[in-house]
Structure 1
Amino acid sequence: MFQQYALSGILINGFSNILSWITLAVLVFEVFAFVDVLFRRTDAFPAVDKQTKPFWMIILGLAVAVSIIPIGGFLSSMLVLLGLVAAIVYVVDVRPRVRAVTPSRKNKKDNTHMGPYGPW
């Protein structure tokens, strides 16, 4: 009898640890998406026929806030899931198109800011 309770306690603790790691991974992914949208140009979003930058900032900011603030319950779980879906949509669909429109600093071969000892 004692072994059964001990085994179930171990399983519950292990499952709780796995859920904690998944929750942390979701939060990190949502923060990545939010920070990425902050550094994108505002005019690039309408150029690729996507929602505006403020729209994505609000949606992803709310997703991060819901993931950080522990409300508990079914509603909180659903909001976290919706935030994860929004972050996935941004990273998979919107981000590649916006990146394709904006010029990259690494590939830019512009010599207009060259000094006698290199770029400035």
Structure 2
Amino acid sequence: MLMLGFAGFLGLLKIVLMALAAFGLFDAAFRREDAFRAADKQTKPFWLVILAIALVVSYLFSILSFLPIAGVIASIVYIVDVRPAVKRLSGGGRGWGRGGRGSSSDGPYGPYNGGR
């Protein structure tokens, strides 16, 4: 009974780790390539390959082996370090225009209201 619960926990953990790698992979796929260079991070193809390998390894191997742990570390590094830097440079903020500068009708001193 205890081993069945432990196996269920490991299965759930495996799904969570696969979701983490998949999220990082899809996020990196939809970011601009020049934002990676501007943020002084590795290139976009580098992160796509690393995160794809992390996803495949987390699917194929047991969670208790070394390779899925390395994949989790790579996924966490992307999500915690690379993603915020690239997102900031590519204008991924909520409610803001490109690059976090506000609306397209904003002037240097605030919103432009057309002389009204």
TM-score band (shorter)? Answer: 0.7 to 0.9
Counterpart of 1:29 in structure 2 is: 20
Q: Summarize the alignment of residues 18-97 of structure 1 with structure 2, pairs less than 5 Å apart.
A: 18-70=9-61, 77-97=65-85
Q: 1:102 aligns with which of 69, 90, 108?
A: 90
RMSD, aligned CA? 1.9
- What are structure 1's unaligned runs of at least 5 residues? 1-9, 112-120
C-alpha displacement of 1:106: 3.7
Aligned-pair distance for 1:73?
A: 9.4
Give the TM-score normalised by structure 2: 0.78
**Percent of pairs identical after alignment?**
40
In the superposition, the TM-score normalised over structure 1's length comes to 0.75
Q: How many residue pairs end up in the alignment?
A: 99
* Counterpart pick for 2:6 among 11, 15, 33: 15
Largest Rg, 1 or 2? 1
Partner of 1:7: none
Quote the offset at 1:69 in angstroms: 2.5
Q: Which runs of 5+ in 2 are unaligned?
A: 98-102, 106-116
Which stretches of structure 1, 4 residues or more, deviate above 3 A after TM superposition? none
